[in-house]
Amino acid sequence: MQLNESQRRAYLEAMGIDLWVPRDEDDSELAMDSAGSQQADASALGWDELRDCVAGCSRCELHSSRTQTVFGVGDPQADWMIIGEAPGAEEDRRGEPFVGRAGKLLDEMLRAVGQGRSEVFIANILKCRPPNNRDPKPAESATCRGYLERQIQLVQPRIILAVGRIAAQLLLDTDTPVGRLRGKPHQLGATPLVVTYHPAYLLRSPSQKRKTWEDLCLARRVAAEASP
């Protein structure tokens, strides 16, 4: 893949690699590089570039313990985007989000509202598994945030379903419990967002499945209202 200069710069910045600019280059370009403070900027990357950038990312400590990154799966033009917390052990091994028992339950939840796994886009806050499935550290979620935001920009979903406490709280920048976040639509930028319980929690607390069904029905209504 041949990159032009602007694509090359965006790609290197997203990887956290310092850009070297010869002294005789235009001063405005040099100022632009330094003003960015070398922050990761994935906003100019397409799907293939973004996937490659995530696969090679070493910007936080999680890269040293992962088997592989978990980029996301599904339809890149989906109406529904499902966002969870972080990969677990099986996701880390297979490179795919929401597999195993929790993944099968998520598939059943989606099918109940007419959405197949291949028809939505599924991603996580983090692209690497935290050791022992611990909660993400603030610096880790901040480091990965640009990747997720670019995925949302590329998908342009009609509805985001935030699955579980950590995903919901990080996306909405709040410490409000899931029980108080669910049951009503929120906004993530211009995109409607609905909060529901994590499938792993539902496996432990099946009595909460009725509430999750209500959340899914709400998400379906909100998505329909967002249709052109």
- Is residue 137 within 8 A of residue 85, CB to CB? The reply is no
Going by C-alpha positions, the residue among 222, 71, 75 that lies closest to residue 160 is 222
156-192 pLDDT per residue, tens: 999 999 999 999 999 999 999 999 999 999 999 999 9
pLDDT of residue 7: 53
CA distances (Å), origin 104, targets 95, 188, 202: 16, 27, 12
* Topology given in CATH for the domain delimited by 70-226: Uracil-DNA Glycosylase, subunit E (3.40.470)
3-state helix vs strand vs coil in the chain, percent to 5:
50, 10, 40
10-51 pLDDT per residue, tens: 545 555 554 444 434 343 333 333 323 333 478 889 999 999
Q: Where in the chain is the domain with CATH 3.40.470.10?
A: 70-226
